[in-house]
Amino acid sequence: MAVIAEPVVQAPRASLLSRALENRSFLGSLFMLPAILILVLFLAYPLALGFWLGLTDTSIGGTGHYVGIANFVSLAKDSVFWLSVFNTIFYTVTASVVKFAIGLYLAVLLNERLPFKSILRAIVLLPFVVPTVLSAIAFWWIYDSQFSIISWVLIKAGLIHNYIEFLGDPWNARWSVVVANIWRGVPFVAITLLAGLQTISPSLYEAANLDGATNWQRFRYITLPMLSPIIAVVMTFSVLMTFTDFQLIYTITRGGPINATHLMATLSFQRAITGGHLGEGAAISNAMIPFLVAAILLSFFGLQRTRWQQGGRD
Amino acid sequence: MSSVHIRDVRKSFGGFEVLHGVTVPIEDGEFVVLVGPSGCGKSTLLRMLAGLENITSGTISIGERVVNNVQPKERDIAMVFQNYALYPHMTVGENMGFSLKLRGASTSEINKRVQRAAEILALTPLLERYPRQLSGGQRQRVAMGRAIVRDPQVFLFDEPLSNLDAKLRVAMRTEIKELHQRLKTTTVYVTHDQIEAMTMADKIVVMHDGIVEQIGSPLDLYDKPDNQFVAGFIGSPAMNFLKGKVAVNGTASFEGPNGVKLPLKSAPANSNGQAVVYGVRPEHFTIADDGADAEIIVVEPTGSETQVYAKLGGEQVVAVFRERHQFNPGDKVKLKPDPSLVHLFDETTGKRL
Ligand SMILES: Nc1ncnc2c1ncn2[C@@H]1O[C@H](COP(=O)(O)OP(=O)(O)O)[C@@H](O)[C@H]1O
Ligand SMILES: [Mg+2]
């Protein structure tokens, strides 16, 4: 059946709407609108509100007034705040370094020809799958002063005589929450790095093998540099997530003992919601921003240096 | 430089045998091409030679040394991979010098040798570039440069030209051959392209389904193929095959399909009535009054020669003429094979008679 196309009759004056729909930039804006709305509603607005609250003395139930940088001035003299800054940095740096080391080790291991590889991969992912609060509660039990399985095992083995005060002593508590965070964060690092490893062509290793590289040299000269872009991305994410961690700490120690494990996020929550001082809590949150921006910039410029990926300018 | 001996080598992948006892002697300084259709086991054999696959049975020796249990890095061989396998995060110069660096050579020594290899391959202006900034042909040369710098006992090439366009392929063919004439390093070169094999090899090893069909110089294989597979594989366009039988009646001749009679110079003893395959290369047909009747189907002039597809005894054959004939589809012609250049194969075994 041949249909003879009728000559398209151009409407003498297309309606405003149909003309607008022909317009590239109008159409582009239209398509972006949902995304923009979501970003504004759930990202920009809370952020702006947080900024604003940080500059007021708002408390729960009361309207606040603009107080300038008064909140920050008082925080600067607040030793608990500075302790939380120290704790956050300690927590982030130690946990990230260890997560990276263990994650890379696991990724390299899982990338080898292993028996039961898929089962092993599933096992590695487990800590990531369990809801954070559940795993935090598990750690809370592990670290319990009377029921701790670690203390129990060590005592039965005759290695120690008294139950360890995991969460009662400041430094024990700090290390304890770091270990919990590592356990929780390693799967993300390991699985992402494993995905990165799998993009490295096996023929590069074969070539290196023929070129005379030992196992260590293959790792040092092939794996590590080829993986560096993905390492930068993963570790940025990992640092950001660790720096802003809340759930683990809040469930295991609530910041104790005597604020020894308070992170900036938990302190902010405590001052704002528990204590009712929304303005002060928001100011603590805002104080995290420079650190986060610094971390992002660091990885951004770190990423830029991998010139071999982007081609040169010539 | 070194000789290489592959003796009765077999290879199984998880109980499935892909190489069924391959024996290939390779002389010192020889350029040997392993050729065969895709999947016949060429790459596997080459990788076993490199030490990248272990040897299920048989022995491989390089020089006097059996290398079955020698690590790849201790075999002193260099390989050019099909995908080149250049290190993307190293410059051309670093790629070429990597093996020397691993061996702990001094920076000045590395630079000297990289420079020399770069000059041979015209890579000097590209030494600072990264692989992704190079064209396919340049990457190919860097891969060769990486091999040359090492000055190994043996060069291995696995289909190094298959990612290049046709023109570059021809140019690189010549370049690799020249390089070999200059360096005289023993070379094993894998390809599925019989033209590459014919043009480059001192010695061709024709492989098929995990066995060696024939080993010989390019012209040996062309003139005296051991069997029907080699006859059909070597030469382009491929040899024509007609099934029929030998008729000895004072003089010998071949009786093909639909009563076609084709000439034979001589018949093997007691072969009257034997079922055979008659093989004639397209370039060995002539137009002659005493030829067999054929009808032209398609004419393809290339300028230097003309390929003619015709029906001969109901079968399609192809003939190539260097002279210019005015043929048209449907024309009746008389095609005559040159009796001294035809091949006879046993119909069941495919062996040359
Ligand atoms: N790692 C492997 N595991 C299983 N089978 C393989 C492997 N490598 C190659 N083969 C099989 O061995 C045969 C020969 O392969 P290959 O040597 O790559 O052929 P070619 O290089 O001649 O095209 C093929 O059937 C292929 O499927
Ligand atoms: Mg192959």
Confidence of residue A312 (pLDDT cuts 50, 70, 90): very low
Distance of alpha carbon A67 from alpha carbon A78, whole angstroms: 18
B85 and A206 within 8 Å at the Cβ level: the answer is yes
Mean per-residue pLDDT for B304-316? 91
Asked whether the predicted pLDDT for residue A314 surpasses 50, the reply is no
Question: Does the Cβ of B326 fall within 6 Å of ligand 1?
Answer: no
Confidence of residue A305 (pLDDT cuts 50, 70, 90): low
pLDDT of amino acid A303: 65
pLDDT of amino acid A13: 61
* Ligand (nearest to CA of B42): 1
* Ligand (nearest to CA of B47): 1
Distance of CA B269 to the CA centre of its chain: 34
B85 and A204 within 8 Å at the Cβ level: the answer is yes
CB-nearest partner of B99 from A211, A309, A314: A211
Q: DSSP state, B319?
A: E
CA torsion B246→B247→B251→B253, rounded to 10°? -50
Contacts of A206 in chain B (CB under 8 A): 50, 52, 72, 79, 81, 85
This prediction's pTM: 0.80
pLDDT of amino acid B12: 95
ipTM: 0.84
pLDDT of amino acid A304: 61
A203 and B83 within 8 Å at the Cβ level: the answer is yes
Q: Which residues contact A287 (CB under 8 A, 6 or more apart)?
A: A72, A75, A81, A85, A264
Q: Which region, left, alpha or beta, applies to residue B334 given φ > 0 means left and ψ of -120 to 50 means alpha? A: beta
DSSP-H helix ranges across B77-129: 92-102, 107-120
Q: Which residues contact B292 (CB under 8 A, 6 or more apart)?
A: B260, B261, B262, B312, B313, B334, B335, B336
pLDDT of amino acid A14: 65
Q: How many CB atoms lie within 10 A of CB A196?
A: 21
Computed over every residue of chain A, the mean pLDDT equals 84
Distance of alpha carbon B85 from alpha carbon A51, whole angstroms: 52
- Of A254, A279, A88, whose CA–CA distance to A271 is shortest? A279
Could you tell me the distance, in angstroms and rounded to a whole number, from the CA of residue A208 to the centre of ligand 2?
Answer: 20
Distance of alpha carbon A189 from alpha carbon A195, whole angstroms: 10
Confidence of residue A33 (pLDDT cuts 50, 70, 90): very high
Atom 18, ligand 1: which residue's CA is nearest? B43
Give B87-145 pLDDT, tens digit per residue.
999 999 999 999 999 998 899 999 999 999 998 888 999 999 999 999 888 999 999 99
With CA atoms as reference, the chain B residue closest to A305 would be B89
Give B221-259 pLDDT, tens digit per residue.
999 999 999 999 999 899 999 999 998 887 888 988 888
Q: Which region, left, alpha or beta, applies to residue A237 given φ > 0 means left and ψ of -120 to 50 means alpha? A: alpha
Q: How many CB atoms lie within 10 A of CB A227?
A: 20
Q: DSSP state, B70?
A: S
Atom 21, ligand 1: which residue's CA is nearest? B43
Q: Domain A78-309: which topology?
A: MetI-like fold (1.10.3720)
Radius of gyration of chain B (CA): 24
Distance of alpha carbon A179 from alpha carbon A91, whole angstroms: 10
Mean per-residue pLDDT for A123-129? 82
Confidence of residue B19 (pLDDT cuts 50, 70, 90): very high
φ, ψ for residue B177, nearest 5 deg: -65, -45
Report the nearest atom of ligand 1 relative to the CA of B47: 17
Residues of A with CB under 8 A from a CB of B: 201, 203-204, 206-213, 217, 221-222, 225-226, 306-309, 311-312, 314
Domain ranges in chain A are 78-309
CA torsion A59→A65→A70→A74, rounded to 10°? -20
Mean per-residue pLDDT for A108-114? 84
Distance of alpha carbon A310 from alpha carbon A308, whole angstroms: 6
Give B73-103 pLDDT, tens digit per residue.
899 999 999 889 999 999 999 999 999 999 9
pLDDT of amino acid B110: 94
Q: DSSP state, B239?
A: P
Interface test mutation site (partner A, options B47, B77, B89, B99, max chain A beta carbons within 10 A): B89
* Ligand (nearest to CA of B158): 2
Can you point out the beta strands (E) in B27-181?
31-35, 57-62, 65-66, 77-80, 154-158
List own/partner pairs for A163-169 with CB under 8 A and 24 or more apart: A166/A142, A167/A143, A167/A252, A167/A253, A167/A256, A167/A257, A168/A257, A169/A257
Distance of alpha carbon B90 from alpha carbon A221, whole angstroms: 10
- Of B193, B143, B188, whose CA–CA distance to B44 is shortest? B188
pLDDT of amino acid B136: 87
